[in-house]
Amino acid sequence: MFHKILVISYEYIMALIFLLPRFHFCNGIKALFLKLRGAKIGKRVVFYPTVWISISKKGKLIIEDDVDLALGVLITVSSKVHVGARTLIGYRTQILSSNHNIPNNKEQIFTAGHTSKDVIIEKDVWIGAGCIILPGVTIGEGAVIAAGSVVTKDVAPFTIVGGCPAKLIRERI
C-alpha cells in the first residue's frame, strides 16, 4: 500500500512540474527533476507543458542539447531511450521502450509481462505530430518521420518515412 502511495505521489508531483510553461527557468526545473531520477539532460532542452516521461528503475534516459519536446509528448523509459541533439519531437508523439507480451494460446494477457528494448533517436531528427515510436527502433541521423506515423522498424539516416507502419517515402537529397 505504501509503495502505491509513493508512486501516485511521484506521478502527481511530475504532472505538476510538467504543467509549467516552457520558459527557460521552468525548463531548468523540469530537467533537474529528470536528473534526480538519473537522466542525462543536455543544454537548452525545451519541455512544453504536459510532457510525460516515465522512468523505471532499469531505465536510462539521455536527451542531448537543443531537443524540443512538444505539447503532450509521452516517453516511457523501461530500457534505454537516447534522443540526439537538435531533435524535434512533435505534439502528442509517443516514444515507447516497452510493450506487453502476447501470451501463447489462451493464456491471460494481463499477467503475460513486458518486453523492454532500447529506442535510439540520432541527431537532427524531426518526428512529426502524433507519431508512435515502438521499442527496439533506431532512427538515423537527419531522418524525418511524417505526422501520424507508427515506426516499427529502424529508419535509415537522411530519409523521410511515413504511414502505419512507417515506410520509406524518399531520401533527403
Residues designated catalytic: 114
User: CB neighbours of 160 closer than 8 A, spacing ≥ 6?
Assistant: 143, 144, 146, 168, 169, 170, 171, 172
Q: Evaluate the CA torsion angle 74, 47, 72, 2 in order and state its sign.
A: positive
46 SS3 class: strand
Nearest CA among 89, 67, 81 for reference residue 149: 89
- Backbone phi, psi, residue 172, to 5°: -80, 120
Q: Alpha-carbon distance 170 to 173, whole Å?
A: 9
